[in-house]
Structure 1
């Protein structure tokens, strides 16, 4: 049953029973026996994110800075004009896109990108109105509502958007930009999950709402490279993030909690030096699930459709390194990787349409947009 989102419930979660001992799912083997058929709908240059409009239409962003409208019933993708200039280099570029809670009436979308500028680049959250007329599409009324400052260098921007189930606020992942110590600095909006109003301001009721600055925006701390954020059917918020050499994580997100990066990890540094493991620092929250070796998770969606009844309530997670789609079952605060499907490319994002079909995109050039339906 869906649990309505309230701040009282979120804060009460801090007093909930401790997370169960995390499971290492890294030894799960991918299967080539897929319960779905994959229809190639379109191809793009390094596609990054999907936003479902309805069962037939969706929005796709590409890392180089393009946005498209796609209709799987036919016709070429329609490029959306008015997209701002982005810093496209390495992991940076045009990132996530999400429909506003009142999209049907307002036609407003929210999206993230890495913005160039003097002194480096920064993660930006913007919103605009999507206008369509005579086969063309454009963004109007572009408004940058949040900007990570100060600017600097580095990849790992995060940038995933999740609207609260009540539609009155949003959550935004902000990566550490490859500067690990920032994740534990309360005065920098890096390595954090932020909770903002629909206008990009600190949301009332945040753990340090009265502190001002980044502290007022912060919901959780200690994240590395979070490319998946979504609410489960029961109203709980889940996030996955990439570890270093080992230690990709799936975390249950609760207000005010510190998840430990870079002080602890189930992985090691790229130069081979060890990182203390989470059990050595009980003040940090352990993941519900971790992967060693890594899958490089990207994209997160919970399945509530009817086309795949066995998947109901499961989390679907793309794997960049493993070129897989993982199905993870959730039981309270525990998580288990139930199965892992071999795909033919690096899966960057996952979305579920109202008809129950699953959409995925490949982080390739060209990368395919695929619609998955039962065999």
Structure 2
């Protein structure tokens, strides 16, 4: 693929030179043998954390995957899309060595998304507390959401899914189904300034609603924009900018159709509902998302990176404020389902491949001969 690198060349050469080849990165395997890795996080001491959907939290230390998983992680409901999902360190981890984890819990006909917090002590999770469980339970083990991010005010956002069979509930405010919730990370309760606090017909944790299955959630502190993406059905995958209290339309407004080919709704847009900033039809099945603010690849500065499970690559979106002005396919040479993408503290990009023998990949600058 072509990276469109902008070099320090005279303007005439930039205008008339042949396109540059995108051999300006290399991809190395950092770890392998992971069972459907789902989420990746970095600790200040250089360790990396990886969740396996099978219910394990793993540690990569000094470039090596430790054989023993972290002890003390509560059991997850591992079925279909369910299991251990996101890991997110406290934003001031050195002073507050806590991890936030999302997981599926319950049983086949009654399961939901849970948020827990625990203190990481060596290779053990201690002081584990349940902060939040989405209500009501769902009857199928799919569409859990599970992605998290912190806002500048220290509150925690968690994206949830519609449980597939309960999509109409995404328009209800008395259900967490198909919502993004905003929580106090200490108590798990709704902050007093959440948009629906005080309403008898609404759950106070809800921050936005009308979502199908939130799989990417990124807060850009530099611009103050909260980016989110979600799976559509056949088509209609969405990239959204989240506003408190807003309705994002699912399932009464969507660009997608049902898996059977049936029309879900005749509407792609409706008054009082937020339209996506960008959508993908046919679907790409977006998974992880990262905003690049590193120094290693200046040409990627400010881009959104979104992984595609179905098409087995990463999309780089060039932004102009709140607009997507260009889209580029990268890393299709990996040819595996890519579940997560993260910017490392070293400025490299890190990818997780979603399979029974999954890998952690590092995208770095090529070695100079």
Q: Return the TM-score normalized by structure 1.
A: 0.86
How many angstroms does 1:283 deviate by?
2.2
Question: Is 1:48 the equivalent of 2:35?
Answer: no
Q: How much is the aligned-residue C-alpha RMSD, in angstroms?
A: 1.9
Question: Is 1:305 the equivalent of 2:294?
Answer: yes
- Please give the residue correspondences for 1:305-324 in structure 2 after superposition, counting only pairs within 5 Å: 305-324=294-313
Tell me which residue corresponds to 1:181: 168
CA contact (8 A) 2:315 2:328 kept: yes
Matches of 1:37 and 1:222, distance apart in 2: 40
How many angstroms does 1:78 deviate by?
4.4
Matches of 1:205 and 1:82, distance apart in 2: 34
**Cα deviation per residue 1:202-254 (whole Å; 9 max; x = unaligned)?**
12211111126852111111000111000123121000001000011100001
Q: 1:349 to 1:277 in 2, by over 3 A?
A: farther
Tell me which residue corresponds to 1:165: 152
Q: 1:214 to 1:160 in 2, by over 3 A?
A: farther
**Cα deviation per residue 1:250-287 (whole Å; 9 max; x = unaligned)?**
00001111110011111101111123355552321110
Matches of 1:95 and 1:207, distance apart in 2: 27
- Please give the residue correspondences for 1:206-245 in structure 2 after superposition, counting only pairs within 5 Å: 206-211=194-199, 215-232=203-220, 233-245=222-234
Tell me which residue corresponds to 1:60: 50
CA contact (8 A) 2:59 2:65 kept: no
What SS does structure 1 have at the residue aligned with 2:193?
coil
CA contact (8 A) 1:260 1:278 kept: no
Matches of 2:39 and 2:270, distance apart in 1: 35
- Please give the residue correspondences for 1:274-313 in structure 2 after superposition, counting only pairs within 5 Å: 274-276=263-265, 278-313=267-302
| Structure 2: unaligned runs, 5 residues or longer | 1-20
How many angstroms does 1:56 deviate by?
3.6
How many angstroms does 1:72 deviate by?
4.8
Tell me which residue corresponds to 1:272: 261
- Please give the residue correspondences for 1:93-242 in structure 2 after superposition, counting only pairs within 5 Å: 93-117=83-107, 120-132=110-122, 137-154=123-140, 155-166=142-153, 168-178=154-164, 179-198=166-185, 199-211=187-199, 215-232=203-220, 233-242=222-231
Matches of 1:70 and 1:227, distance apart in 2: 24
Q: 1:212 to 1:119 in 2, by over 3 A?
A: farther
CA contact (8 A) 1:305 1:355 kept: yes
How many angstroms does 1:77 deviate by?
5.0
Match of 1:39 among 11, 28, 42: 28
CA contact (8 A) 2:303 2:319 kept: yes
Match of 1:364 among 346, 350, 355: 355
Matches of 1:113 and 1:169, distance apart in 2: 19
Matches of 2:310 and 2:91, distance apart in 1: 33
Matches of 1:217 and 1:346, distance apart in 2: 33
How many angstroms does 1:117 deviate by?
4.5
CA contact (8 A) 2:44 2:94 kept: no
Q: 1:119 to 1:338 in 2, by over 3 A?
A: closer
* Larger deviation, residues 143-152 vs 88-97: 143-152
Consecutive aligned runs of 4 or more in structure 1 exceeding 4 Å deviation: 277-280
Matches of 1:153 and 1:35, distance apart in 2: 47
Q: 1:287 to 1:72 in 2, by over 3 A?
A: farther
Tell me which residue corresponds to 1:12: none
Question: Is 1:85 the equivalent of 2:111?
Answer: no
Matches of 1:118 and 1:365, distance apart in 2: 22
